[in-house]
């Protein structure tokens, strides 16, 4: 055998008998040769989804800035000196108009985000009518409002909410390096409330936070071991914003991001894997590899909460080039 010949051992079957993945097993997937990993993920993708279709979501910040949390990546935190100012909540009419425009542009899901640690009951009441009216437009509805208290998830479900987004952000062991104002268990507690109310879960994380590959494997392991697995899994690439603690984070190699998409697909084969924040800086060829590796959802529109996103026309051109159609 030639000394430069690639030698590797394939991990065990994708379906774990116990339903649980170990960090070591997920790291073994990451360690596969790049082309082999993408190929395997593409095969699994085709077993569960039409590889020519992509789910389109639009995200709107209905309450921007002034968040009391200290997430190291977020320009909306009051702990960081960034250009994002504290703004009042949008009106119901403003939100519904934005949802109507999103639908006209081809989006199938409309996501509403608010910069809170968690909604007070009075805050939540103002959002329920937004959810009802967006749902009446024929769109799937999603909300990301932070930590939920008892009974709040049920109110959102009753208003017509389909999905609740609450990301784990990173691996448990890395979490305290990124956020100090809440615990990892707080996030899991909210996810439990969301499931208990019968809502679908949108839950993913961020890569590029100066984490190691083991940390990335730890994040994917946590997501894959949620029971049931999240219906949507957004994979975000850090968008560095001046004034945040992570503005000088080390650049993540693009192949590592594609690997993360592929590993998410292999470990969560029936979930929508969303190519999320950071896509604006990704070349078209990189995005194409992400779709090949199992990404089948994108945020669609010119803004993600407070950071830029490829505009609608650019996305239409790219999807046409790749012969991808919206769901």
What are the DSSP calls for 48-91, one per residue? Answer: HS-TTEEEEEEEEEEE-S-B----TT-TTBTTS--SPPP-PPPP
Burial 163-192 (b: 16+ CB within 10 A, else e): bbbbbbbbbbebbebbbeebebebbeebbe
Q: How many of the other CB atoms lie within 10 Å of CB of 152?
A: 22
Q: Where are the domains positioned within the chain?
A: 23-326
Q: From 279, 280, 278, 305, select the one nearest 82 (Cα to Cα).
A: 305
Q: Which residues neighbour 151 within 8 Å (Cβ) at sequence distance 6 or greater?
A: none
pLDDT of 78 strictly over 80: no
Which of the two residues, 250 and 300, has the higher pLDDT score?
Answer: 250
74 noted as active-site residue = yes
Distance CA 270, CA 48 (A): 6
Catalytic residue (one of 40, 109, 187, 274): 274
202 noted as active-site residue = yes
So what's the pLDDT on residue 19?
66
111 noted as active-site residue = yes
The tokens describing 25, both together, are: 């097993």
Q: What number does CATH give the domain 23-326?
A: 3.20.20.70
| Band of pLDDT at residue 8, cut at 50, 70 and 90 | very low
Catalytic residue (one of 40, 109, 142, 216): 142
Mean pLDDT over 153-164 rounds to 97
Query: What average pLDDT does the structure give for the chain?
Result: 88
Catalytic residue (one of 40, 71, 182, 216): 71
So what's the pLDDT on residue 60?
92
The region, left, alpha or beta by phi > 0 then psi within -120 to 50, assigned to residue 138 is left
pLDDT of 7 strictly over 50: no
Residue 105 near residue 74, CB atoms below 8 Å? no
pLDDT tens digits, one per residue of 184-233: 999 999 999 999 999 999 999 999 999 999 999 999 999 999 999 999 99
The tokens describing 132, both together, are: 């009802």
| Band of pLDDT at residue 292, cut at 50, 70 and 90 | very high
So what's the pLDDT on residue 305?
45
Distance CA 227, CA 110 (A): 25
The tokens describing 277, both together, are: 């924040």
142 noted as active-site residue = yes
């Amino acid at each position: 055998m030639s000394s430069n010949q690639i030698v590797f051992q394939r991990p065990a079957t994708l379906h774990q008998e116990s339903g649980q993945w170990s960090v070591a097993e997920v790291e073994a997937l990451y360690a596969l040769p790049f082309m082999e990993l993408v190929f395997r993920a593409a095969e699994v993708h085709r077993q569960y989804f039409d590889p020519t279709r992509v789910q389109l979501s639009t995200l709107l910040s209905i309450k921007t800035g002034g968040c009391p949390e200290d997430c190291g990546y977020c320009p909306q935190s009051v702990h960081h000196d960034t250009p994002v100012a504290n703004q009042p909540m949008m009106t119901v009419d403003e939100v519904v108009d934005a949802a109507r425009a999103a639908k006209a542009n081809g989006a199938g899901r409309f996501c509403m985000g608010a910069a809170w640690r968690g909604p007070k009951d009075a805050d939540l009441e103002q959002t329920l009518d937004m959810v009802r009216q967006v749902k009446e437009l024929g769109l799937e509805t999603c909300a990301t409002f932070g930590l939920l208290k008892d009974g709040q998830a049920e109110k959102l479900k009753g208003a017509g909410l389909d999905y609740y987004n609450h990301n784990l952000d990173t691996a448990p062991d890395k979490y305290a390096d990124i956020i100090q104002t809440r615990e990892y268990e707080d996030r899991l507690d909210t996810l439990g409330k969301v499931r208990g109310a019968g809502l679908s879960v949108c839950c993913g994380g961020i890569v590029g936070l100066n984490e190691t590959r083991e940390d990335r494997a730890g994040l994917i392991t946590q997501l894959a071991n949620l029971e049931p697995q999240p219906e949507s899994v957004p994979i975000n690439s850090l968008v560095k914003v001046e004034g945040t603690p992570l503005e000088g984070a080390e650049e993540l190699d693009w192949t590592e991001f594609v690997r993360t998409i592929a590993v998410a697909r292999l470990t969560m084969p029936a979930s929508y894997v969303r190519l999320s924040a950071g896509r604006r800086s990704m070349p078209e060829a990189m995005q194409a590899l992400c779709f090949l590796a199992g990404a089948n959802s994108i945020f669609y529109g010119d803004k993600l909460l407070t950071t830029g996103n490829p505009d609608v026309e650019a996305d239409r051109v790219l999807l046409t080039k790749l012969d991808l159609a919206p769901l």
